[in-house]
């Protein structure tokens, strides 16, 4: 109950996605929480980096090209190319 409040993504949905993988047989609630939290941190990081590119274009709204620029420029996101 306490850990559910720390995650913003719906844990039930994350668990359903984990169970959709045929290679996964069991997933503890703690594992689902960690996956949800890691996903939230990843999205937050890439969004902040992409927002920098939006600001350079004098915009406040993220566009696909901002995400593409962040992915291309930042080594941490190389796996997304």
Residue 3: inside a domain, yes or no?
Answer: no
CATH number at residue 45: 1.10.20.10
pLDDT at 17: 95
Q: First-to-last CA distance in the chain?
A: 37
Domain that holds residue 76: 11-17+27-80
CB 46 within 8 A of CB 58: no
**Structural domain contains residue 64:** yes
Helix-helix angle 29-56:11-19, to 10 degrees: 100
Lookup result for tokens 């291309």 = 72
pLDDT at 22 over 80: yes
pLDDT at 2: 54
CA 65 from chain centre, in angstroms, equals: 18
Average pLDDT over residues 46-70: 95
- Does 54 fall in a domain? yes
CA dist 59 → 2, 22, 38, 54, 76 (Å) = 38, 42, 28, 5, 24
């Amino acid at each position: 109950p306490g850990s559910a409040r720390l995650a913003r993504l719906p844990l039930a949905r994350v668990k359903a996605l984990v169970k959709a993988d045929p290679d996964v047989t069991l997933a503890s609630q703690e594992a689902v929480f960690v996956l949800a939290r890691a996903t939230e941190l990843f999205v937050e990081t890439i969004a902040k980096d992409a927002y920098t590119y939006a600001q350079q274009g004098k915009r406040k709204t993220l566009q696909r090209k901002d995400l593409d620029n962040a992915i291309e420029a930042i080594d941490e996101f190389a796996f997304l190319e």
